Structure 1
Amino acid sequence: MEQRQRGRPRAFDRDHVILESARLFWRSGYSGTSTRALSAATGLSTSSLYAAFGSKAGLFDEAVRTYAERYREIYARAVEEGNVHTVVERVLVESADEFSRPSDTHPGCLLSSAVMTDSTSTLDASAYFAELQSSNERTLRERIERATREGDLVADTDPATLTGLVQSVWHGLSVRARLGASREDLLATVRLVQDLIRERLTP
Structure 2
Amino acid sequence: MSQPTRGRPRAFDRDRAILDAARLFWRRGYSGTSTRDLTAALGLSTSSLYAAFGSKAGLFEEAVRTYAERYREIYRRAVAEPDFGTVAERLLTDSVHEFTMPADTHPGCLLSSAAMTDSTRTLDTTAYYAELHGWNERALRARADRAARDGDLTPGTDTAALTGLLQSVVHGLSVQANLGIPRTSLLTTAGLARELIGGQLVGEQG
Smaller-chain TM-score range?
Answer: 0.7 to 0.9
- Cα deviations across residues 103-160 of structure 1 (Å, max 9, x unaligned)? 111101221223334x677982222111111111111011111111111111211111
> Alignment RMSD, CA only?
2.2
Structure 1 stretch displaced more, 34-43 or 65-74: 34-43
**Shift of residue 32 of structure 1?**
5.2
Contact residue 21 and residue 38 of structure 2 kept, 8 A: yes
**Shift of residue 11 of structure 1?**
2.8
Q: How does 1:37-186 map to 2 (within 5 A)?
A: 37-117=37-117, 124-186=124-186
Matched residues, percent identical?
66
Amino acid at match of 1:36: R
Q: 1:20 to 1:10 in 2, by over 3 A?
A: closer
Amino acid at match of 1:202: L
1:126 and 1:28 mapped to 2: Cα distance? 16
**Shift of residue 33 of structure 1?**
4.0
**Shift of residue 54 of structure 1?**
2.3
2:8 is the alignment partner of 1:20: no
- Cα deviations across residues 161-180 of structure 1 (Å, max 9, x unaligned)? 11111111101111111111
Contact residue 96 and residue 174 of structure 1 kept, 8 A: yes
1:113 and 1:120 mapped to 2: Cα distance? 11
Q: Which runs of 5+ in 1 are unaligned?
A: 1-8
- Cα deviations across residues 32-57 of structure 1 (Å, max 9, x unaligned)? 54433322332322211011122334
Contact residue 93 and residue 187 of structure 1 kept, 8 A: yes
**Shift of residue 13 of structure 1?**
3.0
Residue equivalent to 1:193 = 193
Length-normalised TM-score, structure 2: 0.84
Contact residue 153 and residue 201 of structure 2 kept, 8 A: yes
Contact residue 39 and residue 49 of structure 1 kept, 8 A: yes
Q: 1:120 to 1:72 in 2, by over 3 A?
A: closer
Amino acid at match of 2:200: L
Amino acid at match of 1:67: Y
Q: Which runs of 5+ in 2 are unaligned?
A: 1-8
Q: 1:149 to 1:28 in 2, by over 3 A?
A: farther
Residue equivalent to 2:201 = 202
1:140 and 1:32 mapped to 2: Cα distance? 36
**Shift of residue 65 of structure 1?**
4.1
- Cα deviations across residues 83-104 of structure 1 (Å, max 9, x unaligned)? 0111111111111101110111
Contact residue 27 and residue 115 of structure 1 kept, 8 A: yes
Contact residue 20 and residue 41 of structure 1 kept, 8 A: yes
Amino acid at match of 1:184: T
1:33 and 1:121 mapped to 2: Cα distance? 12
Show structure 1 runs of 4+ deviating over 6 A. 120-123
